[in-house]
Amino acid sequence: MEMSLYGARIARSIAACAVVLSFASGAVAQQTRPPARPTDLVEVAAAPQPEAPTLSVPETVEPTVYTPVQPPTIGPETNLPLPRYVSLKTDDGNVRRGPSLSHRIDWVFLRRDMPLQITAEYGHWRRVVDREGLGGWVHYALLSGSRTVIVERDMLPVRARADDTSPITAELEAGVIARLGACDPLYCRISAGGYHGWADRTALWGLSPGEIRE
């Protein structure tokens, strides 16, 4: 009888322990189960970032290059510009290799009034070249400040006025030496053989490019 009661107690204890373990297992299981995701969650988009300001890069500006204006070369003996034009004063003029009488004669100019260009000065001597680029040193006494030109175009028309439509008063052969008068950007007034008028300046040798004469 006592053994039966004792066995019943043990059985009830074991059943109680089983209930406790069962309850504990359910609690652990509930704790380890991941929480359910609610169905009303909305994915929030990232807040828009402000755009970086656009920087305007200035265009590269090339620096302005100024070419210095070279002053005209001045002759050390006369203080006159170099180069400049003159004419031969005599019927012949010795052209020497250097600026003295001791230098040999290389050329002889044989045409009075022919235009020459002075390129250098030394004492009483002037280095000159002619239309062909030939020359040397001549004594200043052989030169004149009177301006002349050589006609470089055959049958060059000489007109009454500085105008292409002006009447032709004469035609000059190439090689004619003419006295030089006024010059504008297109024409020069010349005289030769008793004729005078205006001629195309590009057909004349003995004046500087762009030279204007009143």
Domain assignment present for 97:
yes
Please spell the DSSP secondary structure of 154-174, one letter per residue. TTEEEESSSSTTSPEEEEE-T
Domain assignment present for 14:
no
The predicted model scores a pTM of 0.67
Q: Which residues contact 92 (CB under 8 A, 6 or more apart)?
A: 108, 109, 110
Domain assignment present for 103:
yes
From residue 179, how far is each of 12, 140, 143, 193, 210 by CA, in Å?
154, 20, 15, 10, 18
* Residues 98-149 pLDDT 10s: 999 999 999 999 999 999 999 999 999 999 999 999 999 999 999 999 999 9
Task: Count up the domains in the chain and report the number.
Answer: 2
- Tokens describing residue 8: 């019943």
pLDDT band for position 24 (cuts 50, 70, 90): very low
Rg of the Cα atoms in the chain: 56
* Residues 37-71 pLDDT 10s: 443 334 444 455 556 555 555 555 565 555 555 66
- Ramachandran assignment for 205, one of left (phi > 0), alpha (psi -120 to 50 degrees), beta (any other): beta
Which CATH number belongs to the domain containing residue 109 in this structure? 2.30.30.40
If you average pLDDT over residues 138-161, what whole number do you get? 98
**CB of 198 within 8 A of CB of 167?**
no
